[in-house]
Structure formats: C-alpha cells, structure tokens
Amino acid sequence: MTREEDIRQAVETMRKGGVILYPTDTVWGIGCDATNAEAVARIYKIKQRDDSKAMICLVDSDARLQRYVRNVPNVAWELLDCVDKPTTVILDGAVNLASNLIADDGSIALRITDEPFSKELCYRFQKAVVSTSANISGEPAAQNYCDISQDILDAVDYVCWSRRQEHKPHTPSSIIKLGMDGEVRIIRK
C-alpha cells in the first residue's frame, strides 16, 4: 500500500466518525476527527481514560492552529519558532472542537506536526486530528507499531500501514501551557 492510499483510507475512516491508529512526529497515536464528540468519546473508552484528562490534537500548519483557538498569544509563535523537538502548546480559548476534548478551563493542547505522514494526514483531512498515545491509560506509550497492544489494535477502525516496520526510540512531545497573560508553564519536558 502506498503512503497516499494509506492516508486516503485513514481520512475516509475519520470522515465517517471512525478511530484510527497512526504514526506521528512522536509516538504512535490513536486519532479521530477532533470535532466529532462521539469519536472522541470512543478514544477515552479505548484508552480507559477519565474524560477530564484532555487530549492533544495535531494540525498541519499555523493557519489551522488558529482555527481552534480564539486568540493565539505572540509568545506561542515565538516559542514554536525556536523549539527543535515536537512541542505541544496548551492554549486558552478553544473553539470549533468537540466539547469533550476541551479541558475544564477552556484550553486545548495543540501541536503542529512536521513529520511527513502525520502532516500530510492532517492536511488531507483539513481539520485537527486527535493524537493521544496508543496505549491503555497508565501503560507506557507505544514508541513503535510493535509496541501497540492487541486490545488497542482490535478497538480501532483503521490501522495505518506506514512506518510499521520502524524500530527506533520515540518520545512524547514537550508540553508547555501558555496563558493569555504571558505566563509560561512547562508541563512535560
């Protein structure tokens, strides 16, 4: 299967409200349409995770990120311009997303991906894609496809073929919370 066919299948699955497993710029992720509350609820169920713990969304560009936050503070752009590893920013004023994806304080965790597969997936889907680690809550994140449990594989609607043979260390993104007042808090290095 070509990468283009793989992405087409994943996009089609998400457009129908399905849940996918896919390689990201960090670890393997469980994903869905970030605007579909039912699909988001399925991911919480698959991960056996409390829905009060917000999940990350991937986007393909600065412009797409701006569609999901009322006002992106300048410090966010400055930070994203200087980081050298995948970095998720938590921003206040989330909009245009499934309500069960938005934290109780109204914030959302977003990451602009530069990894070729996940970037193309987000671009072709034309919306934010949920990106939470492919594991049961509390278990180690799946760095590679071979690390994903059978329970997770069986629970999703489509498993991407791209990068399945890869065997190299991957780590979750850094997470930084940025307040509208300019406050910067490092959540995960």
**Domain boundaries along the sequence of the chain:** 3-188
Q: What is the homologous superfamily of the domain 3-188 according to CATH?
A: DHBP synthase (3.90.870.10)
pLDDT above 80 (res 182): no
Angle (CA) 100-102-103 rounded to 5° is: 110
pLDDT tier for residue 175 given thresholds of 50, 70 and 90? very high
Grouping H, G, I as helix, E, B as strand and the rest as coil, residue 129 is: strand
Confidence check: pLDDT of 27 > 90: yes
What is the chain's mean pLDDT, rounded? 93
Task: Please write the tens of the pLDDT for every residue from 81-99.
Answer: 999 899 999 999 999 999 9
**What CA–CA distances, in Å, run from 122 to 75, 76, 98, 106, 184?**
24, 20, 17, 23, 27
